[in-house]
Chain A
Amino acid sequence: MSEAFVLDPPEGIRIELNQGQRDVVVQSMSLVARIVMAGGQESWRLDPPRFEDLELEAAEALANPGSQEVLTGVAARLEQGAELVSRKVLSLAEADDLATLLNYCRLVLAETEFEGEPETARSFGRDLYEYLSYLLSALLEVIS
């Protein structure tokens, strides 16, 4: 498999994915955005507790009841990720954004059990997780 991302100074980071591979990433982001907006437990890693102390956490939740806003923002970022993936070249800031979005997908897919789904769906979920992990690793090698 050729490298998915190549450092190409001064332009930035070149995306070396074909259209089919880009479509997989875009559809993954869209799938995860829908899971996030459904409001299930799968999304908890995107908005975890801020305090170790339960009383402080409860006080924080009362003072800033913005959990749904956080998740709505994440879902919007994932939907906008399609535009990033369509690019030929990314700046370092855009590559940082793409790495974060790929990681969001992994965090949600790792918590998604696909219970009651046929084996093909569960297998698809695992394959997707592995593919996104590979892409994130490849991107990190270039931007780190």
Chain B
Amino acid sequence: MAQSALQELQQESEAGVEDSWATILWDDPVNLIPYVIYVLQAIFAFPKAKATKLTMQVHNDGKAIVAVGSKDEMVENVSKLHRYGLWATVGRP
């Protein structure tokens, strides 16, 4: 019984990973750092410190995951980021 419950949990966990998608924000040479911080605050309601940290991660590492969730939610996020002119894609976390 315990073994079966464990297997169930493992399957659920694996299914969760399979269904998990990410909003990936990419670095680019045009968008200004203060603009990216502003947009992250505007779209995701992040506190300024978190928006700044993610923006600097994008700037230094080339990209950052700014949200994780269902595919539909991530597509919606990416559409919002594109409307502000930021370069973002839906991918796997």
Q: Which of the four size classes fits the interface of chain A?
A: 20 to 34
With A52-B24, A96-B42, A110-B29 already in contact, the answer to whether A144 and B34 are too (CB < 8 A) is yes
**Cα A110 to Cα B30 with chains together (Å):** 7
Residues of A within 8 A of B42 (CB): 96
Residues of A within 8 A of B24 (CB): 52
Contact of A45 among B75, B79, B87 (CB under 8 A): B87
**Cα A141 to Cα B34 with chains together (Å):** 8
**Cα A140 to Cα B41 with chains together (Å):** 12
B74, chain A: closest CB distance, angstroms: 9
Binds B, one of A4-12, A20-28, A83-91, A99-107: A99-107
List chain B positions with a Cβ less than 8 A from chain A: 24, 28-32, 34-35, 37-38, 41-42, 48, 75, 78-79, 82-85, 87-92
Can you report 6 A-B residue pairs in the complex whose CB atoms are below 8 A from each other?
A52-B91, A99-B38, A100-B85, A110-B30, A140-B38, A144-B37
List chain A positions with a Cβ less than 8 A from chain B: 45-53, 56, 96, 99-100, 103-104, 106-107, 110, 133, 136-137, 140-141, 143-144
